[in-house]
């Protein structure tokens, strides 16, 4: 957030200088812009305080879910391995290691609180661990119910396809990252 805010202020300063505004005017514009930016990033909780980032028209930097798919700008997918020995021969339990801090960052990136009703969301790997997916932020997103149940079926299908040799692992990784719904049962 600090980096984004710094970039916004730096960009405003350069634009204001081009317009020939004085130092006081640049500071006023920067303060108003920062307040607008902070307002656009926050949502008022029931108690009236700002507690999370909100994907809103006022916050164009927030990530947005597109139906059952994550925002490809924020969650393009990331693979850790394409080794069939790992993918087909080991449990994902050893690779399933997302810290609480990373989990909270993934939810905040999409303007959601990590504290939600049980079963409403799950932190999902776009390229699943079952296909060699990574625990990197580029592969994580808060997936809403009931979509995550459908995606779990797709993950099982693609894992079986890869391990049986009927689909290449890189092909499965690319396909699920592009649009997992193409494999969803209809």
pLDDT of residue 100: 93
**What percent of the chain clears pLDDT 70, i.e. is strictly above it?**
67
pLDDT of residue 40: 37
- CA distances to 69, 149, 151, 171 from 181, rounded to whole Å, are 8, 12, 8, 15
48 and 105 in a common domain: no
Domain that holds residue 40: 2-53
Residue 63: inside a domain: no
Helix, strand, or coil (residue 117) = coil
Residue 18: inside a domain: yes
pLDDT of residue 5: 35
pLDDT of residue 103: 93
- CA distances to 24, 31, 37, 48, 52 from 34, rounded to whole Å, are 15, 5, 5, 20, 17
Residue 68: inside a domain: no
pTM of the model: 0.67
132 and 41 in a common domain: no
Residue 76: inside a domain: no
pLDDT in tens, the chain (186 residues): 444 333 333 443 333 333 444 544 444 434 333 333 333 333 333 333 333 333 444 455 689 888 899 999 999 999 999 999 999 999 998 888 899 999 999 999 999 888 888 888 899 999 999 999 999 999 999 998 877 788 999 999 999 999 999 999 999 999 999 999 998 877
pLDDT of residue 34: 37
Residue 32: inside a domain: yes
Average pLDDT, rounded, for the chain: 75
Residue 19: inside a domain: yes
Residue 151 · residue 137 · CB < 8 Å: no
Own/partner pairs, 54-61, CB within 8 angstroms, 24+ separation = 54/111, 55/110, 55/111, 56/111, 59/111, 61/4
Residue 159: inside a domain: yes
24 and 108 in a common domain: no
104 and 38 in a common domain: no
Strand partners, 125: 140
89 and 179 in a common domain: yes
Count of helices and strands (H, E) across the chain:
6, 4
How far apart are the C-alpha atoms of 27 and 90, rounded to whole Å?
57
Residue 71: inside a domain: no
CA 20 to chain centre: 39
For the chain, what is the domain count?
Answer: 2
H-state helical runs in 19-146: 23-41, 84-89, 100-109
pLDDT of residue 81: 96
147 and 102 in a common domain: yes
């Amino acid at each position: 957030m600090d980096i984004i805010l710094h970039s916004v202020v730096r960009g405003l300063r350069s634009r204001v200088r081009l317009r020939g505004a004085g130092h006081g005017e640049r500071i006023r514009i920067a303060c108003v812009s920062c307040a607008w930016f902070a307002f656009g990033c926050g949502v008022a909780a029931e108690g009236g305080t700002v507690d999370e980032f909100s994907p809103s028209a006022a916050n164009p930097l927030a990530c947005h879910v597109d139906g059952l798919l994550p925002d490809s700008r924020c969650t393009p997918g990331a693979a850790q391995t394409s080794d069939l020995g790992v993918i087909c021969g080991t449990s994902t339990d050893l690779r399933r290691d997302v810290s609480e801090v990373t989990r909270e960052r993934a939810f905040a990136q999409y303007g959601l609180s990590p504290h939600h009703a049980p079963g409403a969301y799950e932190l999902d790997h776009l390229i699943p661990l079952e296909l060699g997916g990574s625990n990197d932020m580029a592969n994580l997103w808060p997936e809403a119910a009931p979509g995550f149940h459908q995606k779990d079926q797709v993950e099982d299908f693609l894992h079986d396809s890869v391990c049986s040799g009927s689909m290449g692992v890189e092909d499965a990784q690319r396909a699920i990252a592009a649009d997992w719904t193409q494999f969803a049962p209809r």
